[in-house]
């Protein structure tokens, strides 16, 4: 397959970071998580959102994504990365894997973290996912439905899809 840049997109809580780490290890590629990079540089995302607002967050996120995808590796992105037309354009130079889900396991996953756009739990998640789904589909080269399946299966499906 050679050295490539594989970008994971999908809704918050779907498992992009966990899948990304295992995928990178399987393919012997570097792993980068844009949310982790943001937190390292600017502090907790929920605090940044509250103090600086979403537009400022999205602008900085775009710069981080651009840098993260500029070298070979597996890149896990934040759920809202596809909202920027500029970022969607830059993703065209990479292989984008959209991790889709039917949402059945989301309530449990969402309760485990601080997510600034999720104030009303699953109802917010469903609304945000419905809004962003066409954008995920637009940028994706590969779509993997990871609803209720083990991470190992998702990683195997991605690797098989990348071979095609």
Tell me the pLDDT tens digit for each residue of 68-109: 999 999 999 999 999 999 999 999 989 999 999 887 766 555
Across 73-139, where does the E strand assignment appear? 73-76, 95-100
Ordered DSSP codes for 56-82: HHHHHHHHHHHHHTTSSEEEE--TTGG
Length of the chain: 164
Extract the residue ranges of the chain whose pLDDT is less than 70: 1-3, 105-122
Task: Give the integer Cα–Cα distance in Å for 44 and 98.
Answer: 25
Q: Which residues pair with 99 in a beta bridge?
A: 144
What pTM was computed for the model? 0.89
């Amino acid at each position: 397959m050679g050295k490539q840049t594989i970008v994971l997109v999908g809704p918050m809580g779907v498992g992009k970071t966990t899948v990304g780490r295992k995928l990178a290890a399987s393919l012997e590629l570097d792993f980068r998580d844009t949310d982790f990079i943001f937190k390292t540089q600017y502090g907790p995302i929920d605090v940044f959102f509250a103090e600086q607002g979403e537009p400022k967050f999205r602008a900085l996120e775009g710069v981080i994504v651009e840098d993260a995808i500029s070298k070979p590796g597996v890149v896990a992105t934040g759920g809202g990365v596809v909202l920027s037309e500029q970022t969607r354009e830059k993703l065209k130079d990479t292989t984008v894997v959209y991790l889709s889900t039917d949402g059945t396991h989301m309530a449990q996953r969402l309760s485990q973290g601080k997510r600034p756009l999720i104030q009303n739990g699953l109802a917010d998640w469903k609304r945000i996912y419905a809004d962003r789904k066409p954008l995920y589909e637009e940028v994706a080269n590969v779509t993997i439905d990871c609803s209720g399946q083990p991470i190992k299966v998702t990683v195997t499906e991605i690797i098989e899809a990348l071979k095609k």
